[in-house]
Amino acid sequence: MYAADNSQLLPVKEVVSKTYSELLSFVRSPVPPVGRQPLGRTRTIALLTVLGIDIGIVAVFLIAMFSAEAAGAAFPATPDFGISPLFLFLFATTVAPVLEEVIFRGWLSGRKADLEFAGTILGLAAIAFAGFALFSGDAIAWLSVFAIGAVAALLRWGVRRKTHQAMPGWFARHYAKIVYLSSLAFGAVHLTNYDTFSAIHLVMVLPQTIGGVLLAFTRTKLGLNASIVQHALFNALVFGADTAFAS
């Protein structure tokens, strides 16, 4: 994305412009990551640029929603599910960004070891869910099966991550579709924020779906740590604004 030898010298305006241009290109046709981006000022500016775009998209969405409500439209509210606002804020800015980025975008590196790990975790989750749904029983038992399998998968990943870095050809060929599908899945999982479902709920998770593509760009161009930070900052800003308006 930026040359390592002169990245610290680029003016802020140039970094912002370059990030915006590459983001548009990525949205049109996502491509696999190439190499690692250097730490430093340039990567920070790029990350904040993408975050600003994401916040701007949400602001436009909210303005459109408020205008529609003023015209008589009704939109579903997010129930609190009996969870304290402080716990929800802490979860949304610490645990959720890490888990969601690892699950939905950690494997976008395309490295074979990462893909194997992600596939194993997905398979374990499916087994645990199917086992509980079909055979009922103690949920703790099925969670234990998942946890033990996940630890074993993590250990295996630790052993193989340096020797299994090649990207499978099929992954590279279908990278754009994979990014779009992972972003749709990321948006869909936020339907669980509501206790009912209707067609309007699909509209309500559009910001998360679009945000999934932006986070995929950050993860691909700047790294997984950067996408986690962007995700956490986004949630903090959104929750902070929501609290300010509510009061």
Q: What is the pLDDT of residues 15-55, one digit of tens each?
A: 999 999 999 999 999 999 876 666 688 899 999 999 999 99
Residue 2 domain-assigned (yes or no): no
* Model pLDDT for residues 76-124, shown as the tens digit of each residue: 877 776 778 888 899 999 999 998 999 999 999 999 999 999 999 889 9
pTM (2 decimals)?
A: 0.86
174 and 158 both lie in a single domain: no
209 and 156 both lie in a single domain: no
Q: What percent of the chain has pLDDT over 70?
A: 91
Residue 67 domain-assigned (yes or no): yes
84 and 183 both lie in a single domain: yes
Q: Give the number of domains in the chain.
A: 2
Residue 129 domain-assigned (yes or no): yes
Residue 1 domain-assigned (yes or no): no
Residue where a domain terminates, one of 119, 137, 166: 166
212 against 134, higher pLDDT:
212
31 and 146 both lie in a single domain: no
Domain, as residue range, for 117: 111-166
98 and 188 both lie in a single domain: yes
Helices (H), the chain: 12-28, 41-70, 85-90, 96-104, 112-135, 139-160, 169-173, 175-189, 199-204, 206-222, 224-246
Give the 3-state secondary structure of residue 196: coil
Residue 101 domain-assigned (yes or no): yes
199 and 219 both lie in a single domain: yes
Residue 208 domain-assigned (yes or no): yes
Residues whose CB falls within 8 Å of the CB of residue 197, separated by 6 or more in sequence, listed in order: 191
Residues whose CB falls within 8 Å of the CB of residue 222, separated by 6 or more in sequence, listed in order: 1, 37, 43, 46, 47
